[in-house]
Amino acid sequence: MTPSDRSDTHGARPLRSLRGEAAPGSKPQRSPTSATGGPSRPSCCARGRRRNATGSTTTTSTSKKRQSFMVMHWNAEGVMNKKTELEHILHERSINVCCIQETHLQMGKTFKVRGYQCFRQDRADRRKGGVLTLVRNNIQAWETAVHMEGAARVPDDSGQTE
């Protein structure tokens, strides 16, 4: 080291390059267990059980992975012209069940989404309204009896039902 390199660095030598090289004389860091020579995996009791902080035992299993069940709810205000966007969201976010209201679908017109079962209830007496439930094909689902007779309708200010 030259005298010009010895500015007040408290014994540290500057690196000449920023290419990720190690400083001279440095050793790679090791994790605490390998540094002490201990086992590299967490210690377990008999039969794969280990104790947590409260003292109770839990079974460790790396093969069981908990999967989320994703449910989406959407007020579409007309779903036919938004089908491509809906399909993209369903597949991108791995939605299992999608509940949609205000579909504005008309009876007799088909509406299908690839990879999903469609359960729908359209309004027979008007264009707007309707509900649709999409369930992924790998989930067993069926529609039960639908009872719309006697369904309550809220009258508007004139006394007419919507």
Domain contains 84: yes
Inside any domain, residue 105: yes
pLDDT tens-place string over residues 98-126:
999 999 998 888 999 999 999 999 988 88
Buried b (16+ CB within 10 A) or exposed e, 82-98: eeeebeeebeeeebbbb
Q: Which of 40-44, 65-69, 151-155 has the lowest mean pLDDT?
A: 40-44
Tokens standing for residue 159: 């006394």
Q: pLDDT class for 60, splitting at 50, 70, 90?
A: low
Beta pairing partners, 117: 135
Q: Exposed e or buried b for every residue in 62-81, given b needs 16+ CB within 10 A?
A: eeeeeeeeeeeebebeebee
Q: Is residue 118 situated within a structural domain? A: yes
Does a structural domain hold residue 155?
A: no
Question: What domain range is 97 assigned to?
Answer: 71-136
Q: Cα(71)–Cα(108) distance, rounded to whole angstroms?
A: 27
Three-class secondary structure of residue 5 per DSSP: helix
Is residue 24 assigned to a domain?
no
pTM check: above 0.75: no
- pLDDT tens digit string along 9-20? 555 555 454 444
112 located within any domain: yes
Quick check: is 75 in a domain?
Answer: yes
- Position 141 in a domain: no
Q: Count of domains in the chain?
A: 1
Of 118, 133, 128, 112, give the one whose Cα is nearest residue 162: 128
